[in-house]
């Protein structure tokens, strides 16, 4: 009986062992082969299947796990072979996944997908047409990018913007007949998820949704392609319990943005130049408490990583109108801002320098109204003659100087009143205004390298301060 059991056992165990070792041998043999000889074959296949130009710069090896693939130790990828200065992906970890049945093939290879990890992606604004053409017109197999960095650079190879990329999925969803480009990343220390979709049943329209946390922001975009160099769209933004609708148009290498709904509390108007990259933006906030922009705007800027504060190339102006306060004048505004910022942990009346006679104990001229870490704030409701000095103070706080410094910042914020606020608030007639600051900034731009956010507070729409009686007068 025992002999019979042993025979039956041998009948099953021996074939199992043979199959196991045969499989291991089958999968292991490709590891021993030299794949550098098929570099050109792989490059041509990637160009055909993915519409991506691949230049292999390192060794090629074969890996079994997690599934059969070629591992390229160093490679560059781009979308335009005709332009040597086009956007490029530099990676030391490129995986080219192949079907199981093709692991021995070196001439007629097939590729299922490619995965890129730990890459640096360099992108210029002039490359946007190549990228858009690939999104709209190229049929490609799946591309996955993990744990990489995106660099937006100008024509001088200087970095304008940096974004960490946790994961990118770029593929065609056959089931839904659509092309998808999904990004999970981080920009300006804000995590975001972006999904772009184009349905082939309606190819002139594309949809994009962006979600962020801290701040909580949801953006839905609908694009209408009108030609190779022209498109328009509409965005619906949910932010700070506000629903904001904006229209935009791309033409002649410019993006124009405006808010069509006059009843919105938050309105946006922007002009963005893509080559060279530069933007001008105007944000209008209406019918909000003054704490709204202090808590949200200042806190958001303060909580941004220091490395991102200088990566701006443009102008932003903010207008605050119809503030919800029973009294409004420069003294009240100063008090409200000071009280709120101190509660948020800002240092009031921070000195610029440590050395006498420039330290704050000897002269108020060399003091900032507020400072915290990398941000300086000036509340400028003083004489118009002080406009130039108020602009320069954030620069002195941020740039190198021959006088020993008290603080070191990277971004300045200036808060002032508009002409309308000056009039209806019964301010001193000599104070400088938002409009005057704007005039100063243009000739001063050559000597102001520090990014500065200028905030102009508009007058209330329901009341004013009577000049003679010095009392609130409702209108």
pLDDT digits (tens, 9 = 90+) for 351-378: 888 888 877 766 667 888 888 878 888 8
* Residue 11 pLDDT: 58
- What value does the mean pLDDT take over residues 274-298? 69
- Dihedrals φ, ψ of 423, to 5°? -75, -55
**Other beta carbons within 10 Å of 218:** 13
How distant is the alpha carbon of residue 1 from its chain centre?
76
Task: Provide the residue ranges of all domains of the chain, joining segments of one domain with +.
Answer: 28-214, 287-474
In this model, does residue 234 exceed pLDDT 80?
yes
pLDDT band at 337 (very low <50, low <70, confident <90, very high): low
Report the run of H or E that residue 61 belongs to, with start and end.
strand 60-63
pLDDT-wise least confident of 1-10, 77-86, 244-253, 289-298: 1-10
* Residue 309 pLDDT: 43
- What value does the mean pLDDT take over residues 60-89? 81
Question: How far apart, in Å, are the Cα atoms of 77 and each of 10, 36, 37, 161, 216?
Answer: 54, 18, 19, 20, 34
In 87-177, which ranges are E strands? 88-91, 94-97, 113-117, 119-124, 143-153, 159-173
In this model, does residue 184 exceed pLDDT 80?
yes
- Dihedrals φ, ψ of 246, to 5°? -135, 150
CB proximity list for 388: less than 8 A, separation 6 or greater: 440, 444
pLDDT-wise least confident of 120-124, 260-264, 298-302: 298-302
Question: Is residue 198 within 8 Å of residue 135, measured between CB atoms?
Answer: yes
* Residue 326 pLDDT: 42
CB proximity list for 14: less than 8 A, separation 6 or greater: none
- What value does the mean pLDDT take over residues 128-141? 85
In this model, does residue 329 exceed pLDDT 60?
no
Q: Is 183 helix (H, G, I), strand (E, B) or coil?
A: strand
* Residue 141 pLDDT: 93
In 176-326, which ranges are E strands? 178-187, 190-199, 205-212, 217-227, 230-239, 242-251, 254-258, 266-274, 277-286, 314-321
* Residue 72 pLDDT: 92
pLDDT, tens digit, 9 for 90 and up, residues 8-52: 555 566 566 656 555 554 445 454 455 677 888 899 999 999 999
pLDDT band at 286 (very low <50, low <70, confident <90, very high): confident
Residue given tokens 């102008």 in the structure block: 315
User: What's the CATH class of domain 287-474?
Assistant: alpha beta
In this model, does residue 166 exceed pLDDT 60?
yes
Question: Is residue 258 within 8 Å of residue 246, measured between CB atoms?
Answer: yes
- What value does the mean pLDDT take over residues 90-102? 86
In this model, does residue 69 exceed pLDDT 80?
yes
What is the percentage of the chain residues whose pLDDT exceeds 90?
Answer: 19
* Residue 29 pLDDT: 46
Rg value, the chain, Cα: 30
pLDDT band at 253 (very low <50, low <70, confident <90, very high): confident
Alpha helices in 417-466 (DSSP H): 419-424, 434-444
In this model, does residue 334 exceed pLDDT 50?
yes
In this model, does residue 303 exceed pLDDT 90?
no
* Residue 175 pLDDT: 87
pLDDT band at 320 (very low <50, low <70, confident <90, very high): low
Q: What is the mean pLDDT of the chain?
A: 78
* Residue 48 pLDDT: 92
Question: Is residue 175 within 8 Å of residue 168, measured between CB atoms?
Answer: no
* Residue 239 pLDDT: 79
* Residue 148 pLDDT: 95
């Amino acid at each position: 009986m025992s002999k019979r059991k042993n025979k039956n056992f041998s009948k099953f165990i021996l074939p199992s062992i043979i199959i196991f070792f045969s499989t291991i041998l089958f999968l292991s043999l490709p590891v021993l082969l030299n794949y550098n000889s098929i570099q050109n074959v792989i490059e041509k296949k990637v160009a055909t299947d993915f519409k991506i130009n691949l230049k292999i710069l390192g060794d090629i090896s074969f890996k079994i796990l997690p599934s059969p693939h070629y591992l390229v130790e160093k490679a560059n990828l781009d979308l335009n072979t005709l332009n040597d200065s086009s956007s490029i992906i530099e990676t030391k970890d490129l995986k080219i996944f192949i079907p199981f049945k093709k692991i021995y093939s070196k001439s007629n290879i097939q590729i299922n997908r490619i995965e890129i990890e730990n890459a640096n992606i360099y992108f210029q604004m002039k490359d946007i047409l190549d990228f858009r053409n690939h999104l709209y017109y190229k049929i490609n197999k799946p591309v996955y990018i993990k744990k990489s960095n995106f660099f937006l650079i100008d024509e001088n190879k200087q970095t304008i913007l940096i974004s960490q990329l946790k994961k990118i999925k770029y593929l065609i969803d056959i089931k839904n007949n659509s092309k998808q480009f999904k990004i999970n990343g981080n920009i300006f220390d804000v995590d975001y998820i972006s999904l772009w979709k184009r349905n082939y049943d309606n190819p002139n329209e594309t949809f994009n949704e962006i979600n962020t946390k801290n701040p909580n922001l949801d953006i839905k975009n609908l694009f209408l392609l009108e030609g190779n160099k022209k498109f328009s769209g509409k965005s619906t933004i949910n932010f700070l319990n506000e629903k904001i609708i904006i229209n935009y148009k791309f033409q002649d290498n410019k993006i124009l943005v405006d808010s069509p709904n006059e009843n919105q509390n938050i309105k946006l108007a922007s002009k963005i130049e893509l080559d060279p990259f530069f933007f001008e933006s105007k944000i209008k906030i209406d019918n909000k408490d003054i704490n709204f922009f202090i808590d949200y705007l200042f806190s958001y800027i303060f909580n941004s990583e220091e490395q991102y504060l200088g990566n701006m190339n443009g102008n932003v102006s903010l207008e605050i109108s119809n503030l919800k306060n029973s009294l409004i004048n420069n003294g009240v505004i100063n008090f409200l801002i000071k009280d709120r910022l101190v509660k948020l942990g800002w240092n009031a009346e921070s000195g610029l320098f440590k050395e006498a006679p420039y330290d704050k104990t000897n002269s108020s001229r060399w003091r900032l109204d507020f400072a915290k870490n990398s941000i300086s704030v000036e509340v400028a409701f003083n004489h118009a003659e002080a406009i130039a000095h108020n602009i320069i103070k954030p620069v002195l706080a941020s740039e190198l100087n021959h006088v020993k410094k008290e603080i070191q910042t990277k971004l300045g914020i200036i808060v002032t009143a508009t002409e309308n606020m000056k009039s209806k608030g019964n301010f001193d007639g000599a104070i400088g205004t938002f409009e005057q600051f704007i005039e100063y900034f243009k000739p001063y731009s050559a000597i102001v390298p520090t990014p500065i956010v200028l905030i102009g507070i508009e007058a209330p729409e329901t009341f004013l301060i009577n000049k003679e009686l010095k009392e609130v007068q409702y209108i």
